[in-house]
């Protein structure tokens, strides 16, 4: 029972819309592309200045999906249409920061692209000193993907507490044609790869036209809402004050810092839970702490692809609390984090 709840929570996090990871934010390409970091910057800016069509596959623990893509990038303005080739008919469309999903029943959902999780590859494009603490970049040599010449760039973790990545970047356009997320012993946890890629001078309006009418104006961004009283952001409060909770973590891997903390709906129950999000600039994980009124929940661990979910119980006086750690980190790392969470006074007394 407990394991099934964790599986559901783990799967929901792993199911991220693919389009957010394919069309990345534009930035100025470097004048000279000579280092791995330069190639990442070029990769991030490429969709804004290139038009192309093709077919790619995306594979993770949830299975294999094939998708046809039409992408227009002209003077920094992007439009895109993705048509799923497997299962029920679906389309994902994007114009600038507006996204629409055409579902199998014909219903159209609209939202802003920044409402989806940031792409791992997009974060790689801003490779700075904060990432250098945890990763190193290396050239992996020349290769070919979808019949095209590519340059291989390796993003290697400096310890066993995060995953590595291999990127295959098209030498002509700078577009990412293949990527792999690597786990222990080089096991591939997630793969994205073009099987056909064709640069185009222009993509026609007909190729970008959705199968259902989409009212793009309805997807405009709402006015920003004030942050809830129970939510604290890193930009507003110093790190030490953010961590002033009644519970603390006894161990966090080097390089991970607090990004945000708030009160959220628990991923394993219907009640509220304290939550802290940690990130090293590329990988991230969340810790949830909530009171366990049932006292029947036991420890559980689960890994689905790159996402690990671990649950542990600790006691404070007569009360029992459940700790859940979920994120794209190795299972052993998530387990070590979870067992280190204690009531604040217990942590202080630890040697």
CATH of domain 19-219: 2.50.20.10
Which strands make up the sheet holding 307-316, listed edge to edge? 232-233, 257-265, 272-279, 284-291, 319-327, 307-316, 300-304
φ/ψ (deg, to 5) at 46? -60, -45
- What does the pLDDT read at residue 244? 54
Q: Are 75 and 213 in contact (CB under 8 A)?
A: no
- What does the pLDDT read at residue 247? 87
Among 268, 279, 278, 277, residue whose Cα is nearest residue 324: 268
What is this structure's pTM?
0.77
- What does the pLDDT read at residue 124? 65
Q: Give the CA count within 13 Å in the CB-facing half-sphere of 184.
A: 9
Q: Are 231 and 262 in contact (CB under 8 A)?
A: yes
Show the CA angle centred on residue 183, arms to residues 333 and 287, nearest 5°. Answer: 30
Q: Which residues make beta-bridge pairs with 136?
A: 156
Token pair for residue 260?
């945000």
- What does the pLDDT read at residue 195? 97
- What does the pLDDT read at residue 109? 84
**Domain regions of the chain by residue span:** 19-219, 232-349
Q: Which residues make beta-bridge pairs with 58?
A: 65, 192
- What does the pLDDT read at residue 61? 86
Cα–Cα distance measured from residue 152 to residue 17, given in angstroms and rounded to the nearest whole number: 25
Q: Which CATH class is domain 232-349?
A: alpha beta
Q: Render pLDDT for 193-227 as a digit per residue (tens, 0 to 9).
A: 999 999 999 999 999 998 888 887 644 444 444 44
Cα–Cα distance measured from residue 160 to residue 259, given in angstroms and rounded to the nearest whole number: 21
- What does the pLDDT read at residue 130? 67
φ/ψ (deg, to 5) at 116? -95, 165
Q: What is the pLDDT along the chain (351 residues), one digit of tens a residue?
A: 455 544 444 443 333 334 433 443 333 444 566 889 889 889 888 998 999 999 999 998 889 999 999 999 988 889 999 999 999 999 999 888 888 889 888 788 887 654 333 355 556 655 556 678 899 999 999 999 999 999 999 999 999 999 999 999 999 999 999 999 999 888 999 999 999 999 999 999 999 998 888 887 644 444 444 444 444 444 444 443 444 578 889 999 999 999 999 888 887 777 889 999 999 988 999 999 998 877 666 788 999 989 999 999 888 888 889 999 999 999 999 999 999 998 886 544 433
Token pair for residue 47?
């969709």
Q: Look up residue 175 and give its DSSP letter.
A: -
Helices marked H in the chain: 2-14, 36-49, 120-124, 129-132, 205-208, 239-242, 331-340, 344-349
């Amino acid at each position: 029972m407990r394991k099934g709840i964790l599986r559901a929570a783990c799967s929901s996090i792993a199911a991220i819309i693919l389009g957010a990871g394919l069309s990345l934010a534009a930035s100025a390409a470097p004048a000279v592309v000579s280092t791995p970091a330069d190639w990442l910057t070029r990769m991030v800016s490429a969709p804004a200045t290139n038009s192309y069509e093709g077919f790619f596959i995306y594979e993770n623990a949830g299975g294999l999906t094939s998708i046809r893509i039409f992408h227009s990038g002209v003077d920094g303005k992007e439009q895109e249409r993705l048509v799923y080739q497997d299962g029920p008919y679906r389309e994902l469309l994007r114009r600038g920061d507006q996204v629409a999903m055409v579902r199998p029943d014909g219903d159209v959902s609209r939202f802003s692209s920044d409402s989806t999780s940031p792409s791992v590859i997009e974060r790689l494009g801003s490779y700075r000193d904060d990432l250098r603490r945890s990763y190193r970049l290396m050239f992996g040599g020349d290769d070919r993907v979808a019949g095209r010449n590519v340059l291989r760039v390796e993003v290697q973790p400096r310890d066993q507490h995060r995953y590595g990545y291999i990127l295959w970047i098209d030498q002509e356009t700078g577009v990412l044609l293949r990527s792999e997320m690597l786990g222990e012993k080089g096991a591939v946890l997630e793969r994205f790869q073009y099987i056909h890629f064709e640069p185009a001078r222009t993509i026609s309006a007909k190729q970008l036209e959705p199968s259902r009418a989409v009212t793009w104006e309805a997807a405009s961004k709402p006015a920003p809402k004030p942050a809830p009283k129970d939510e604290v952001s890193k930009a507003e409060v110093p790190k030490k004050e953010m961590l002033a909770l009644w519970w603390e973590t006894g161990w966090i891997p080097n390089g991970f810092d607090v990004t945000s903390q708030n009160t959220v709906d628990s991923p394993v129950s219907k009640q509220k839970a304290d939550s802290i999000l940690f990130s090293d600039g590329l990988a991230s994980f969340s810790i949830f702490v909530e009171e366990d009124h049932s006292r029947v929940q036991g420890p559980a661990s689960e890994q689905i692809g790159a996402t690990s979910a671990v649950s542990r119980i600790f006691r404070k006086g007569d009360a029992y609390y459940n700790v859940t750690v979920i994120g794209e980190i190795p299972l052993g790392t998530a387990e070590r984090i979870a067992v280190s969470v204690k009531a604040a006074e217990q942590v202080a007394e630890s040697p």
